[in-house]
């Protein structure tokens, strides 16, 4: 799906400098509480990455992608690490599908990554989804809004949960996504950031919604959606399975991060992206009866008789120019070999008997039609192409 949208793959190290990760946000749970720090090596403090965006932005500058055509459209698939209580849908090592547009400020990119996320989830069979959307402003309008929010919550402080009391001065935005029962009654009257955006953020916000409308994407405006990481500006969004709520269930989430490059010490550079939780998506596919292994492991299987391993390997080697090929080297009955070929989902079977092998011929069987023909080894690749 990322390739269809013109994105190129990037791979960055699983280990990053602790300092880079901390710049993503020390008020963030994934950094403050859940980080796997490594024992110091020489002068470097290192950690296992809790998320990929900080590393992708670093690599964009260090690898010179900022000198290429802008913006850079990148995707990354790989493991992330967060130390939390493991439970279904929340793992200490989990896999993300990340999509990032770096060097693009237009609202078109916000809508594009949202459409890509939706397309990806649809493509794997997940149709019943809920998209939640919000804007959290930028460094121009957010400080004044945060003051309003503090002013609103200060008289209520003693009635808030202890954790929320701590957040009130340090990170008041997080009061809005508090999941604690005790905090809920106060949210409804809290000032909404989308009512206090500066002109530029307001224009961006309405352009993103207009683009999503024209793409036919349905979304719910959620003024309490603020996201767990500190680097977001303007657009933030999360995809949930229909019916579910609560951060634990988000299948994919992201937003714009126009201040992240600068926070890492690079020239100011806008960016927007998301990460999908592959483990959660696969869990849901399996629960919905989707065949998680939809692709055959090999298109062609070679089933040699007796001692024909050398010949089977040779035939497989030539066929690999056109198809994926697996060989059954196990000394088992033809019946057992055919069963194995069926389980792999192979489209063709190449049967090698010692009689045929002497003449360099094989039997080629089409598993769908059942049709079987004799083919010279040299002609197999062209027959399979």
Binding string, residues 290-319; x marks residues near ligand HAM by CB under 6 A: ------------------------------
By the rule CB under 6 A, 258 interacts with ligand HAM = no
**Which residues sit opposite 235 in a β-bridge?**
135
By the rule CB under 6 A, 204 interacts with ligand HAM = no
Shortest gap between Cβ of 183 and ligand HAM (angstroms)?
A: 21
Shortest gap between Cβ of 13 and ligand HAM (angstroms)?
A: 16
Token match 């714009």: residue? 256
Stretch of residues binding ligand HAM (CB under 6 A), selected from 67-75, 204-212, 248-256, 366-374:
248-256
| Residue selected from 5, 36, 61, 91 as contacting ligand HAM according to rule CB under 6 A | 91
Shortest gap between Cβ of 91 and ligand HAM (angstroms)?
A: 4
Stretch of residues binding ligand HAM (CB under 6 A), selected from 154-162, 168-176, 275-283, 313-321:
275-283
Q: What is the strand order of the sheet 8-9 is part of? A: 8-9, 72-81, 93-102, 271-277, 252-256, 233-241, 129-135, 220-221
Contact 301, 384 (CB under 8 A): no
Beta strands in the chain (DSSP E): 8-9, 15-17, 46-48, 72-81, 93-102, 129-135, 220-221, 233-241, 252-256, 271-277, 300-304, 325-327, 348-352, 361-366, 372-376
Between CA 256 and CA 142 the distance in angstroms is 14
| Residue selected from 23, 73, 82, 337 as contacting ligand HAM according to rule CB under 6 A | 82
The string of DSSP codes covering 267-303 is PP--EEEEEEEHHHHHHHHHHTT--S--S-S-SEEEE
Contact 76, 9 (CB under 8 A): yes
Shortest gap between Cβ of 116 and ligand HAM (angstroms)?
A: 12
Q: Which residues of 110-129 are buried (b: 16+ CB within 10 A; e: fewer)?
A: bbbbbbbbbebbeebebeeb
Shortest gap between Cβ of 225 and ligand HAM (angstroms)?
A: 11
By the rule CB under 6 A, 234 interacts with ligand HAM = no
| Residue selected from 55, 254, 270, 304 as contacting ligand HAM according to rule CB under 6 A | 254
Contact 61, 79 (CB under 8 A): no
Token match 């701590």: residue? 166
By the rule CB under 6 A, 136 interacts with ligand HAM = no
| Residue selected from 58, 280, 337, 365 as contacting ligand HAM according to rule CB under 6 A | 280
Shortest gap between Cβ of 30 and ligand HAM (angstroms)?
A: 6
Interface with ligand HAM (CB under 6 A): 30, 51-53, 82, 84, 89-91, 94, 96, 98, 100, 228-229, 250-255, 257, 273-275, 277, 279-280
């Amino acid at each position: 799906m990322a390739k269809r949208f013109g994105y190129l793959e990037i791979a960055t190290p699983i280990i990053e400098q602790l300092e880079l990760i901390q710049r993503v946000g020390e008020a963030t749970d994934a950094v403050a509480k859940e980080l796997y720090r490594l024992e110091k090596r020489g002068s470097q403090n290192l950690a296992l990455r809790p998320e990929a965006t900080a590393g992708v932005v670093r690599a964009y500058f260090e690898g010179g992608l900022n000198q290429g055509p802008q913006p850079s459209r990148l995707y990354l698939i790989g493991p992330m690490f967060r130390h939390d209580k493991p439970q279904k849908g929340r793992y200490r090592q989990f896999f993300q599908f990340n999509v990032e547009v770096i060097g693009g400020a237009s609202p078109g990119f916000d809508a594009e990554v949202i459409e890509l996320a939706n397309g990806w989830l649809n493509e794997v069979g997940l149709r019943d989804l809920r998209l939640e959307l919000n804007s959290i402003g930028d460094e121009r309008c957010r400080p004044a809004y945060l003051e309003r929010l503090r002013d609103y919550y200060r008289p209520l402080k003693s009635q808030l949960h202890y954790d929320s009391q701590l957040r009130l001065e340090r990170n008041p935005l997080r009061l809005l996504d508090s999941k604690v029962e005790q905090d809920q009654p106060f949210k409804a009257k809290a000032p909404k950031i989308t009512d206090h955006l500066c002109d530029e953020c307001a224009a961006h916000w309405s352009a993103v919604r207009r683009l999503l409308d024209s793409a036919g994407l349905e979304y719910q405006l959620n003024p309490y959606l603020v996201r767990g990481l500190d680097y977001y500006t303007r657009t933030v969004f999360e995809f949930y399975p229909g019916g579910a709520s609560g951060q634990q269930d988000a299948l994919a989430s992201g937003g714009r991060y126009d201040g992240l490059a600068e926070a890492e010490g690079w020239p100011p550079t806008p960016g927007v992206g998301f990460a999908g939780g592959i483990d959660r998506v696969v869990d849901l596919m399996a629960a919905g009866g989707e065949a998680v292994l939809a692709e055959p492991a090999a298109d062609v299987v070679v089933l040699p008789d007796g001692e024909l391993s050398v010949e089977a390997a040779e035939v497989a080697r030539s066929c690999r120019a056109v198809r994926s090929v697996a060989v059954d080297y196990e000394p088992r009955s033809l019946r057992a070999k055919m069963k194995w070929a069926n389980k792999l989902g192979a489209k063709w079977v190449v049967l090698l008997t010692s009689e045929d092998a002497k003449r360099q011929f094989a039997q080629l069987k089409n598993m769908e039609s059942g049709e079987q023909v004799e083919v010279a080894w040299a002609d197999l690749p062209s027959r399979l192409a």
